[in-house]
């Protein structure tokens, strides 16, 4: 492991000096290699899938398909078209003594990523780190070991053909020991970004001796206000919950204004589309009474139903008496990821957006849009839920730091 860290550190110095045109050409080459080697990548992925039960919520995250590989390649090509964040001057001034100061964007160096059963992350992280001049250490989970190994092997083949050191991307062993060693690799790893559930993120935060940016855990709520549009609500709730249940922007709890239970004609109209996907609803006392006998997959909520990231075809449902109650619920149970309000009341929407403490706050749109590509940022490394440093989708600009460049002509300080 020590040797791997040393090689990654050395590679980071070389990657930082590459011409951006070469970086873009390599990204396009890797994208084409993904398309040309679909069968090889899918075969490795099938080996991983064979070890996981289809009922496991992580199965969808783990699975690669022909169309998903095409999308991964398309995202990588898109990253190649984005302007380089490196060298961007964010501040510039000349002091009265003639010293010229510039604050310039530069790579972090070595970025370590810890992630679970998501092989697409391997390609996304490489594209963003490489484009921004960083080397990356990848620590995937055992569930995706074959998929990640084949993906990194493919990237290495392209790098070697282009004369670039393959250690620009390094796959670490899928062991807990490797995680612990990376989290303690002071002087070698400049930044660690965990992508996964709350248990993983808490472990990384409590263990790391290197800088960490928290991403991933998403307990997502949507509030249907008294002035919400029923048809719009049906579409938004359906998309937010069922588009991809295993991702961090998926809806976990629907809050409905108590008076809207009557104004909606029937609450079951709002949630009826979810029955098509067999979504289990864990309803509180009031919403259970409104849906009893009208929704086929209804269960009583427990205290654990709220504040749970389901990553499955499951959702909590709760009636609230006011916007203030909805805000209090989100403040207690939300994870700072993505929250939404459905309403025609502009004042209520503005108050919701101003009051909710989350990286992404939506008005009349589903939380499924929380994604770097959807925000026009290319791919993303993750969704940062913390306040110090980057927040929300972490794309190219968010994985660079800066340094001050000072030019003088012999000035001395009095």
The pLDDT confidence band at residue 243, using thresholds 50, 70 and 90, is very high
Average pLDDT estimate for 184-188: 96
Average pLDDT estimate for 37-49: 97
Backbone phi, psi, residue 191, to 5°: -160, 140
Average pLDDT estimate for 74-93: 95
Does the structure show a pLDDT above 70 at 216? no
For residues 283 and 317, the answer to whether their CB atoms sit within 8 Å is yes
Other CB atoms within 10 A of residue 412 CB: 6
Backbone phi, psi, residue 165, to 5°: -60, 130
For residues 281 and 370, the answer to whether their CB atoms sit within 8 Å is no
In the chain, the percentage of residues whose pLDDT exceeds 70 is 99
Average pLDDT estimate for 142-169: 97
**The pLDDT value given to residue 377:** 82
When mean pLDDT is compared across 139-143, 197-201, 278-282, 295-299, the lowest value belongs to: 197-201
The CA distance from 222 to 329, in Å, is 11
Who wins on pLDDT, 376 or 153?
Answer: 153
Average pLDDT estimate for 297-305: 96
Average pLDDT estimate for 7-26: 97
Question: 87-132: per-residue pLDDT in tens?
Answer: 999 999 999 999 999 999 999 999 999 998 889 999 999 999 999 9
Question: 143-155: per-residue pLDDT in tens?
Answer: 999 999 999 999 9
**The pLDDT value given to residue 314:** 97
Nearest 5°: the CA angle 277, 283, 285 is 155
Average pLDDT estimate for 225-230: 94
When mean pLDDT is compared across 36-50, 294-308, 379-393, the lowest value belongs to: 379-393
Question: 200-212: per-residue pLDDT in tens?
Answer: 888 898 999 999 9
Backbone phi, psi, residue 93, to 5°: -160, 160
Work out the mean pLDDT of the chain and round it to a whole number: 94
Does the structure show a pLDDT above 70 at 265? no
> Is this structure's pTM higher than 0.95?
no
Average pLDDT estimate for 24-50: 98
């Amino acid at each position: 492991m020590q040797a791997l860290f040393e090689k990654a550190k050395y590679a980071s110095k070389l990657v930082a000096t590459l011409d951006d045109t070469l970086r873009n050409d390599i990204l396009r080459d890797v994208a084409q290699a993904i398309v040309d080697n679909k069968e090889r990548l899918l075969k490795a992925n099938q080996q991983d899938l064979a070890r996981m039960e289809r009922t496991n919520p992580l199965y969808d995250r783990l699975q690669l398909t022909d169309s998903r590989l095409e999308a991964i390649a398309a995202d990588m090509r898109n990253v190649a078209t984005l302007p380089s964040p490196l060298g961007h001057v964010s501040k510039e001034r000349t002091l009265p003594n003639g010293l010229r100061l510039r604050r310039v964007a530069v790579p972090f160096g070595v970025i370590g990523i810890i992630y679970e059963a998501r092989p697409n992350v391997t390609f996304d992280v490489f594209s963003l780190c490489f484009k921004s001049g960083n080397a990356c250490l990848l620590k995937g989970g055992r569930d995706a070991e074959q998929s990640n190994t084949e993906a990194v092997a493919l990237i290495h083949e392209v790098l070697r053909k282009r004369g670039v050191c393959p250690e620009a991307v390094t796959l670490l062993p899928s062991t807990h020991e490797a995680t612990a060693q990376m989290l303690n690799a002071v002087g070698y790893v400049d930044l660690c970004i965990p992508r996964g559930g709350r248990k993983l993120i808490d472990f990384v935060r409590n263990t790391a001796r290197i800088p960490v940016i928290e991403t991933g855990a998403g307990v997502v709520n949507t509030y249907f206000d008294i002035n919400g549009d029923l048809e719009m609500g049906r579409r938004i709730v359906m998309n937010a919950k069922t588009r991809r249940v295993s991702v961090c922007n998926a809806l976990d709890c629907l809050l409905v204004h108590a008076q809207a239970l009557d104004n909606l004609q029937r609450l079951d109209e709002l949630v009826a589309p979810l029955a098509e996907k067999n979504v289990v609803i864990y309803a509180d006392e009031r919403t259970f009474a409104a849906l009893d006998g009208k929704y086929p997959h209804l269960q009583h909520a427990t205290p654990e139903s709220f504040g749970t990231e389901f990553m499955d075809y499951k959702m909590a449902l709760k009636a609230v008496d006011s916007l203030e109650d909805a805000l209090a619920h989100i403040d207690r149970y939300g994870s700072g990821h993505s929250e939404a309000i459905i309403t025609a009341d502009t004042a209520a929407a503005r108050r919701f957006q101003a009051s909710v403490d989350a990286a992404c706050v939506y008005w009349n749109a589903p939380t499924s849009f929380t994604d770097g590509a959807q925000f026009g940022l290319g791919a993303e490394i993750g969704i940062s839920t913390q306040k110090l440093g980057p927040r929300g989708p972490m794309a190219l600009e968010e994985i660079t730091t800066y340094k001050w460049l000072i030019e003088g002509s012999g000035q001395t300080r009095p």
